[in-house]
């Protein structure tokens, strides 16, 4: 059997059951485990504590499958984990309202590196760790068996794969290849999702609960939706009676798709002003033109990809938030988000406070938001928290 033995210094974090074991924590490797193969994990005093997948290319050298030394990592193990994750989703997702949601959220569902999203009759997967890739065939068979989808599509076309010694990959894994656009339901609204070319696995499922909250605020408001992608927030705002919407997005294909989504939900296109451009520039232009709005949504892409980018990212967040606060009418509402895992909840709030001070406005947090409930955060894996949002009133 292949195994790793940990250094004495690793004892404390092993007690916390964090699923990542870094290369520096490993004293000794026995056998010759291949990329992603399962290894036994021993403490420095030779006690077996569980099993994990070995990843020789990555700084995260082992990802723990189980802290139960008795648990065998086989088809049954994966079936149990997937079934458990699915049963938890069934409790929180009302399928008649929503058929696009995350079934498996990697480490937080005890399956490091595996993402599985459901889009109606299709599953879209990402295999982001050597261990997930190593067990791919088994995982696909189980998913196919449980969900009986029309097709299982892979969107592992992401750079993090290279850290695990894997190539980015996109292909049909099982069943029929989907058309580019799939129609899904979300909270009763209809959306077209491009699972082949769209961002992530096609749609920002993590914002579903926050999009719903928009409905409570949008009635009668003039809304500016920044970084609007395929119009998710805009559909909810318009459907709940927003007076007008301007949306800024740099991708013209995303704007085209948002127009289709308005049509699909019978929303009046004459209420929408599409601006295909850069949010940083357009907000400055609006400031110079003295344009104002009752509600502004800022949902930018990840500004901090690594720890080294935290400072620069903070400046970016402050910049757009300061501009947005200046554009809001008194009593206006700001929905502001950061999806950078490296920006903590505390830091994000600090950045927004800095923007509030510089804007000269009186700003209060009225809601604190995070990722949707189908993107849970295991408490032994705090890195699972990445999406933070604040709803602020601006006077
Ligand atoms: N709120 C959206 C998701 C936003 S993702 C939803 O609920 O679906 C971020 C979006 O910002 C992406 O569509 C990306 O194309 C766009 N984007 C990135 N940088 C931009 C910039 N500088 N100006 C305008 N749009 C940008």
pLDDT in tens, 39-98: 999 999 999 999 999 999 999 999 999 999 999 999 999 999 999 999 999 999 999 999
Q: Cα of 225 to ligand 1 centre, how many Å?
A: 10
Q: Cα of 229 to ligand 1 centre, how many Å?
A: 5
303 lines ligand 1 (CB under 6 A): no
237 lines ligand 1 (CB under 6 A): no
Q: Cα of 259 to ligand 1 centre, how many Å?
A: 15
Closest residue by Cα to residue 302 from 274, 337, 255: 337
Q: What angle do CA 138, 154, 104 make, to 5 degrees?
A: 65
Q: pLDDT tens, 96-148?
A: 999 999 999 999 999 999 999 999 999 999 999 999 999 999 999 999 999 99
> Is the Cβ–Cβ distance between 7 and 27 less than 8 Å?
yes
Q: Cα of 66 to ligand 1 centre, how many Å?
A: 37
Closest residue by Cα to residue 371 from 159, 106, 190, 10: 106
Q: Cα of 101 to ligand 1 centre, how many Å?
A: 20
β partners of residue 40: 3, 51
Q: pLDDT tens, 296-352?
A: 999 999 999 999 999 999 999 999 999 999 999 999 999 999 999 999 999 999 999
Q: What angle do CA 284, 205, 108 make, to 5 degrees?
A: 115
245 lines ligand 1 (CB under 6 A): no
For the chain, the farthest-separated pair of C-alpha atoms sits apart, in whole angstroms, at 70
Cα–Cα distance for residue pair 125/155, rounded to 1 Å: 6
Neighbours of 87 (CB within 10 A): 9
Cα–Cα distance for residue pair 182/151, rounded to 1 Å: 12
278 lines ligand 1 (CB under 6 A): yes
pTM (whole model) above 0.85: yes
Q: DSSP E strands: which ranges in the chain?
A: 3-6, 20-22, 26-30, 38-42, 48-54, 60-66, 100-105, 114-119, 122-127, 151-156, 169-175, 181-186, 189-194, 222-226, 244-249, 272-276, 293-298, 328-338, 363-370, 388-394
| Ligand 1 atom nearest to CA at 251 | 15
Q: Tell me the pairing of strands 151-156 and 122-127.
A: parallel
Cα–Cα distance for residue pair 305/295, rounded to 1 Å: 28
Cα–Cα distance for residue pair 302/312, rounded to 1 Å: 12
């Amino acid at each position: 059997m292949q195994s790793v033995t940990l250094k004495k210094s690793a004892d404390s974090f092993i007690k916390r059951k964090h699923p990542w074991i870094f290369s520096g924590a490993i004293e000794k490797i026995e056998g010759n485990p291949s990329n992603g193969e399962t290894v036994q994990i021993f403490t420095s005093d030779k006690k077996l504590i569980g099993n994990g997948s070995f990843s020789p290319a990555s700084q995260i050298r082992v990802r723990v499958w189980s802290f139960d030394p008795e648990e065998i990592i086989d088809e049954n193990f994966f079936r149990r984990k997937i079934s458990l994750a699915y049963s938890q989703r069934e409790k929180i997702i009302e399928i008649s309202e929503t058929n696009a949601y995350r079934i498996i959220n990697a480490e937080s569902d005890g399956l490091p590196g595996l993402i599985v999203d459901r889009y109606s009759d299709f599953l879209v997967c990402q295999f982001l760790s050597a261990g997930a890739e190593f067990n791919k065939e088994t995982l696909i068979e189980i998913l196919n068996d449980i969900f009986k989808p029309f097709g299982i599509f892979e969107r592992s076309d992401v750079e993090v794969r290279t850290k695990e010694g894997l190539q980015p990959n996109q292909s049909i894994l099982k069943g029929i290849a989907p058309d580019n656009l799939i129609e899904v339901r979300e909270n009763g609204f209809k959306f077209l999702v491009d699972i082949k070319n769209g961002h992530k696995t096609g749609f920002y499922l993590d914002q579903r609960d926050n999009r719903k909250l928009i409905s409570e605020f949008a009635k009668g408001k003039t809304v500016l939706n920044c970084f609007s992608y395929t119009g998710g927030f805009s559909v909810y705002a318009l459907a709940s009676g927003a007076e007008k919407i301007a949306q800024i997005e740099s991708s013209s294909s995303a704007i085209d798709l948002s127009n289709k989504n308005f049509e699909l939900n019978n929303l009046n296109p004459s209420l929408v002003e599409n601006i295909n451009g850069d949010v940083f520039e357009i907000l400055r232009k609006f400031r110079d033109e003295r344009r104002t709005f009752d509600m502004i949504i800022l949902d930018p892409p990840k500004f901090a990809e690594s720890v080294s980018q935290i400072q620069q990212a903070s400046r970016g967040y402050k910049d757009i938030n300061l501009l947005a606060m200046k554009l809001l009418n008194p009593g206006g509402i700001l929905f502001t988000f950061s999806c950078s895992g490296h920006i903590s909840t505390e830091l994000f709030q600090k950045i927004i406070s800095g923007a509030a001070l510089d804007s000269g406005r009186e700003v209060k947090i009225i809601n604190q938001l995070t990722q949707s409930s189908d993107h849970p955060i295991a408490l032994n894996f705090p890195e699972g928290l990445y999406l933070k949002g604040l709803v602020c009133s601006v006077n």
